């Protein structure tokens, strides 16, 4: 089946630094990818929609200047958490839609810990 990868799988950074997370569609092209965030013992919450060649659209309450999204190619979207703080520690997951079967597939997630 379709594969979506993320890199890194886990990262630890210091407060105030920036971290970049990559999401790749390995065997299909994706004009749209989605970024979710999941805090411990909670469900996934959509953060933003990443559009190849255009600006990302953010869900209400998500700071676009803090979570920078770049979808520079049809197989790669990146999420950069700028000036990270401990409250940004979370599990970040991306998804993409291969055609067929036009079903969202998810990456394995990136565990971010900000110390």
Partner 1 sequence: DAKTTQPPSMDCAEGRAANLPCNHSTISGNEYVYWYRQIHSQGPQYIIHGLKNNETNEMASLIITEDRKSSTLILPHATLRDTAVYYCIVRSSRSNDYKLSFGAGTTVTVRA
Residues that bind partner 1 (CB under 8 A): 1, 4, 6, 32, 34, 36, 43-46, 49, 91, 93, 95, 97, 102-109, 111
Smallest separation (angstroms) from partner 1 to the CB of 17: 24
Q: Distance between alpha carbon 53 and the CA centroid of its chain, in Å?
A: 16
Of 66 and 111, which has the nearer Cβ to partner 1? 111
Of 22 and 82, which has the nearer Cβ to partner 1? 22
Of 82 and 111, which has the nearer Cβ to partner 1? 111
- Backbone torsions φ then ψ of 90, nearest 5 degrees: -170, 180
Q: How far apart are CA 36 and CA 94, in angstroms?
A: 6
Smallest separation (angstroms) from partner 1 to the CB of 104: 5
Q: How far apart are CA 66 and CA 9, in angstroms?
A: 21
Smallest separation (angstroms) from partner 1 to the CB of 16: 26
| Secondary structure letter of residue 86 according to DSSP | G
Q: How far apart are CA 51 and CA 7, in angstroms?
A: 19
């Amino acid at each position: 089946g379709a594969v979506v990868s993320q890199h890194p799988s886990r990262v630890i950074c210091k407060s105030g630094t920036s971290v970049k997370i990559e999401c790749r569609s390995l065997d299909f092209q994706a004009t749209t990818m989605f970024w979710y965030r999941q805090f411990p013992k909670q469900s996934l919450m959509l953060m933003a929609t990443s559009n190849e060649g255009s600006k990302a659209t953010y869900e209400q309450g998500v700071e676009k200047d803090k979570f920078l999204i770049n979808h520079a190619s049809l197989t790669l979207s990146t999420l950069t958490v700028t000036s990270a703080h401990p409250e940004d520690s979370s599990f970040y997951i991306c998804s993409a839609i291969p055609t067929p079967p036009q079903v969202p597939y998810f990456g394995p997630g990136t565990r971010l810990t900000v110390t």
